[in-house]
Each structure stands twice: as structure tokens, then as C-alpha cells.
Amino acid sequence: EKGTYPHYMLKEIDEQPLVMRKIIQKYQNDNGELTIDQEIITAMNEADRIYIIAAGTSYHAGLVGKQFIEKLAKIPVEVHISSEFGYNMPMLSEKPLFIFITQSGETADSRAVLVQVKEMGYKAITITNVQGSTLSREADYTLLLHAGPEIAVASTKAYTAQLAVLVILAEVTAKSRGMEPNFNLVRELGIIANAMEVLCDEKEEFESIAREFLTVTRNAFFIGRGIDFYVGLEGALKLKEISYIQAEGFAGGELKHGTIALIEEGTPVIAIATQEIVNLGIRGNVKEVVARGANPCIISMKGLEFEGDTFIIPEVHELLTPLVSVLPLQLISYYAALHRDCDVDKPRNLAKSVTVE
Ligand code: F6R
């Protein structure tokens, strides 16, 4: 039930801090340590390469998940769009492990890949929000998101839950390999939950950003470098699916290779700048688009901000910023759709789970 909320999407955005705390609790043992079924950790450790398969928002979570697994557990990861896997099948390693990320657990494109790799005799983990769903039943192992039902077509809390489960999987695997802990993840995820709460309390700010940047535009661009680039892809998808604004997410450095031709007077460019090593690079890109008339909206992180930035998210661990920097993008998309009189929870042409290939 959406209770006092005008839309499920807004309710589900607001639930994200609670979901974070629930995930911490569900994945903690009696000693307060994060744990994952030993069988799953063994499968991770036996693999020489991990193949993440997913669609849409779940694919975007996979792109970030690759960074978590490679940086923390040091296992190579490839991320594939499920509908492409059959045609562009990568050369598989000797001991592949497949991870399917799917909120609904019913996405036909992803299931087709699962059927195919099971036939080939490989092991698969499904990360899903729905216990007993098709992909959960047909995989060897399941990791649950514990996000509660997601009703709005646009995925919000499932995305951040997917990231949280992926980072727990990565860190628990790292620990099992005798690696030094990279951080106190329970603590860091608690900090994330608090930061999410701060952002959920600033809705008016996002409403006014949406009004200023997106009420009358035809298109919008999301740019980022490093992990911020992946968050930009998700921001663009959110915006286009519910507000019908043509939106594109791309790597800041790619601007000059073509896309900059589209920038004209007033084009909104939303830059995500939460990573120290790319901070100056992305700001250089903002200068380039501003020189061509763009209307820039800069989302940065405390400690890395410059004067004139549009919105500053609270400071969280640098690897985990996508869990937080996506909230402004979700909220801006929500208000953009609202200002443009769109049906937020049920956008045209879309269904919550895509059960056809
Ligand atoms: C976007 C969205 C879709 C889904 C995609 C995969 O907001 O909801 O892009 O992410 O259809 O769905 P699942 O995760 O259920 O496999």
C-alpha cells in the first residue's frame, strides 16, 4: 500500500534507508559480522572469472558490482546485457561463475541465458528481490535483496539493494580469501543509510532542480567518469522512462568524441562528481559544455565540492558513492515526470517485469 504517498515510486525512494538497515541485519551473523552461505563463497572462490548477466537497471547495478568484486575480492568480472549474450557470447574462461541480477526474477532475456549456461554445466547465483521466482528456482544459489515489493515500474530501492548485496558478497569473498578487510562494511553501510535519509529529507531541493533544469527541455545528458559514469547511465534511464525526456548517459571523456555536437543553448547536463581521482577531469567536461551554452547541474560529494555546485551529497566511502549519488537522480526524475504530468508509476509502453524475449 502506498499510504499517504502520491506514488509508489516516491514511497520506494523513501524506503531506501530502511532497506539498507534491513540488508545489514539480514546478512549479519550473531557476532555482528556480515556472512554469506558458505556454498556461495566456495563457488566464488572456485571461479576464475565471473559473468554478471542482467537487463536495464539491474545491468547498471552489475556495472558497479564489477568494480566491487574486482577491487575487493580481486576476481575478474565481465558484465553482459542478457538479451545480447546469446549473439555476442564472450569467450568463457575455464571456470566461469554466473551471477544473474534481477529484481523480479522473471526477466525472460535473463532467464534464457540462465537456461543456456545451466545446459553448459555452469553454476549460477541469482540476486533477486523475489524468493521463489523463476530465476531464483533455476539457479544453484539465491541471494535475496530484502527490499520489500517494488511496485513502481521504475526501479529505485531494488537498485541500491542490489549494490548493497553485491558489495557484501565482494567483501565476504575477500575475507574468505584471507585479504585484509578493506573497511568496516557494516559501519559504512550504516553511514550510507544515514546519508540516504538526509537526501530523502531534501525533496524540495530536488523538486526545484527538476523544475529549473527539466521542465521545458527536449533532452538531457548525464556525465560522469569512473564509477560515476555508471550512475549517470542509471540516471538517464530513470529520467527517460518516467518523464519521456530523451536522456543519455556517457563518460565525460567521450564528450569530445561526438556527443558534444548535441549541446546547444540551455541543454541540461547533469554531472556526477563524487570521485577524487576524476574530479578535475569531470569539471573540465562541465566547462566544455558550459562554453557551448549548456545548463550544468553538478552533483558532488562533501569534501570534493567546488563553489557553485548544484547539490552536495553527504560524505560516504568513495567506492560506495553510487548507493547515495543515485538518490538525487531518482528524485530529480520523479519530480521532472510530475512537472510534466506523466504517469509516474506506470509509464507508457512499459511493464514491471518483462517476461518476453
Ligand atoms: C528500470 C527498470 C528496468 C528493469 C529491467 C530488469 O527502472 O525497471 O530496466 O531493471 O527490466 O528487470 P529485472 O531486474 O526484474 O530483471
* ipTM (interface pTM): 0.99
pLDDT tens-digit profile of 209-221? 999 999 999 999 9
* Ligand 1, atom 3, residue with closest C-alpha: 56
CA angle 65, 67, 73 (to 5 degrees): 90
Whole-angstrom CA distances from 296 to 266, 291, 311, 353 are 9, 11, 11, 34
CB 160 within 8 A of CB 323: yes
pLDDT at 9: 97
DSSP state of 71: I
Rounded to the nearest angstrom, the distance between the alpha carbon of 248 and the centre of ligand 1 is 17
* 230-256 mean pLDDT: 97
Separation of alpha carbons 65 and 104, rounded Å: 18
CB 217 within 8 A of CB 269: no
DSSP state of 73: I
pLDDT at 284: 97
CB 267 within 8 A of CB 294: yes
Residue 155 grid coordinates: 526501479
Please work out whether the CB of residue 107 comes within 6 Å of at least one atom of ligand 1: yes
DSSP state of 28: B
Please work out whether the CB of residue 333 comes within 6 Å of at least one atom of ligand 1: no
CB 321 within 8 A of CB 227: yes
pLDDT tens-digit profile of 270-294? 999 999 999 999 999 999 999 999 9
Please work out whether the CB of residue 56 comes within 6 Å of at least one atom of ligand 1: yes
With bands split at pLDDT 50, 70 and 90, how would you rate the model's confidence at 2?
confident
With bands split at pLDDT 50, 70 and 90, how would you rate the model's confidence at 351?
confident
Mutate to test the pocket of ligand 1, among 103, 131, 142, 144 (most ligand atoms within 8 A of CB): 103
Rounded to the nearest angstrom, the distance between the alpha carbon of 105 and the centre of ligand 1 is 10
Rounded to the nearest angstrom, the distance between the alpha carbon of 352 and the centre of ligand 1 is 7
Atom of ligand 1 nearest to the CA of 135: 16
Please work out whether the CB of residue 330 comes within 6 Å of at least one atom of ligand 1: no
* Ligand 1, atom 13, residue with closest C-alpha: 102
Task: Give the strand order in the sheet containing 219-224.
Answer: 246-251, 219-224, 268-273, 295-301, 311-313
Separation of alpha carbons 196 and 207, rounded Å: 17
Q: What global pTM score does this model have?
A: 0.98
pLDDT tens-digit profile of 80-109? 999 999 888 999 999 999 999 999 999 999
Separation of alpha carbons 11 and 170, rounded Å: 29
* 22-46 mean pLDDT: 97
Rounded to the nearest angstrom, the distance between the alpha carbon of 128 and the centre of ligand 1 is 11
Rounded to the nearest angstrom, the distance between the alpha carbon of 356 and the centre of ligand 1 is 13
